[in-house]
Amino acid sequence: MSLLDFSQKALLAALLIYSASFIFFMIAVGGKKWSNREPAAHSRRWGWTGFGFAAAGWAAHVTFFVTRWVAGGHIPTSNMYEFMTMLAMAIMLAFIVIYLIYKNALLGAFTLPLTVIIIAYASVFPSEIQPLIPSLNSNWLRVHVTTAALGEAFFAVGFAAALVQLLRVIDYKRTDKAGKRARRWMEVFLLVILMVIGFLLSVFSFRAAGYQAEFHQVITKEDDLGQQQTTERQVVYGLPPIVKPYSSDTVEIDSFLGMKKPLFAAPPWLKGVNAERKLNTILWSIISGLILYGLLRLIARKQLGAVIHPHLSDIDPDDLDEISYRSIAIGYPIFTLGGLIFAMIWAQIAWSRFWGWDPKEVWALITWLFYTAYLHLRLSRGWHGAKSAWLAVIGFLVVLFTLIGVNLVIAGLHSYAGVS
């Protein structure tokens, strides 16, 4: 067995152990009423069991990271697969730290599935080890990426706690405008989560079925001297093409539900690496998420938040508010160092300028400013409880767009990630 194969098996082991840890945390939270023990003793026993599995999973995850580093000869952060798996590892480290402080089993019940989803999302991208481009071969890059990811990991734990807090405190019996608005926004956030899950289900289902569509794209552009430059390439989709590449002809397309041709072509102004294929993926994510949400609503016959809310009645929302705030307070200085200061030092070394208004740089700054506003409103204006929780949830959506949206949709110096 090669070292790379062993590394992949270690990640699979981590994924399975994380899934088992999630089950134990769910027993700790939801099994109190069926246990013969006192609720606190039951939660403590199963919570520590879940934590033990989470720590074992993290050890396997670190093994994956180290062995892949040795096999590739460089830190595994050169593409989306490597970065997202590292982010999941950082989230688990942040979770371990916060759990040892607060010992709240409910946090594990929501952080572990977030980690599993991120690892599954990473598996969508090519897992081959890629050689580093010159600008990525820097010790400052290693420091920048690892500290930025760790800061974002603490933001993720803060998000998980805030989301649970909102599900706990939103009153589903209120009929005034404020109550209805809070319920609607919670459904929007739950729908976004289901879109991510729907995206994963779509990708892995069509991948298992061996679906493929292929296009031949010919693009003609003028260079700086006004001369026509023609570029030809083959574009392969792993999902049925709702949208095909701009200026392309169909080479091969598998039929799906009678769909034998794309519905429309991508607009010519779409930017980013493999932008048309990514737009197609986003459309499938939206469609599959809406279908999944509709099925769950049909089964529950009520808002999804209203289904979850009664099961959180014995949770103290103030504890979750404190966990969310402390997680973000820890992550903020780490992200400031990694996402801004170390990033600017690396940019100076790689491109001879500290700041260049690259989309990733801009959105990293937006993320930092958002969490700066969060801490200011929390500490100076007294924004506690639901107000603070809404900011923590929105803030992590900004983080996700900075990580995923910028890399996959907007063209820039950070658009180096491939998609399978």
pLDDT at residue 420 greater than cutoff 50:
no
379/228: higher pLDDT: 379
pLDDT at residue 24 greater than cutoff 90:
yes
Which helix (H) or strand (E) covers residue 207, if one does? helix 177-209
Give the C-alpha separation, 3 to 71, whole Å.
Answer: 6
- Kindly report, residue by residue over 226-242, the tens digit of the pLDDT: 677 787 888 888 888 88
SS3 state at 358: coil
Tell me the mean pLDDT in the region 2-13.
91
What whole-number percentage of the chain has pLDDT above 70?
Answer: 90
- Kindly report, residue by residue over 103-133, the tens digit of the pLDDT: 888 889 889 999 999 998 888 877 888 776 6
Nearest to 401 by CA among 356, 355, 370, 375: 370
Through-space distance between the first and last CA atoms of the chain, rounded to whole angstroms:
25
Let me know the angle formed at the C-alpha of 389 by 383 and 392, rounded to the nearest 5 degrees. 105
Q: Which residue has the tokens 């991510």?
A: 196
Give the C-alpha separation, 144 to 167, whole Å.
Answer: 35
Which helix (H) or strand (E) covers residue 189, if one does? helix 177-209
Whole-prediction pTM value?
Answer: 0.84
- Kindly report, residue by residue over 295-337, the tens digit of the pLDDT: 999 999 999 999 988 888 778 888 899 999 999 999 999 999 9
Contacts of 38 (CB under 8 A, 6+ apart): none
Q: How many helices (H) and strands (E) does the chain have?
A: 13, 5
Q: Which residues pair with 218 in a beta bridge?
A: 232
Which helix (H) or strand (E) covers residue 153, if one does? helix 139-169
- Kindly report, residue by residue over 171-192, the tens digit of the pLDDT: 888 888 888 999 999 999 899 8
Indicate the pLDDT class of residue 196, thresholds 50, 70 and 90: confident
- Kindly report, residue by residue over 212-229, the tens digit of the pLDDT: 888 888 877 766 666 777
Number of Cβ atoms within 10 Å of the Cβ of 394: 16
Let me know the angle formed at the C-alpha of 400 by 385 and 378, rounded to the nearest 5 degrees. 25
pLDDT at residue 39, as a whole number: 64
pLDDT at residue 264 greater than cutoff 90:
no
Number of Cβ atoms within 10 Å of the Cβ of 4: 16
Nearest to 129 by CA among 85, 77, 167, 175: 77
According to DSSP, residue 34 is labeled G
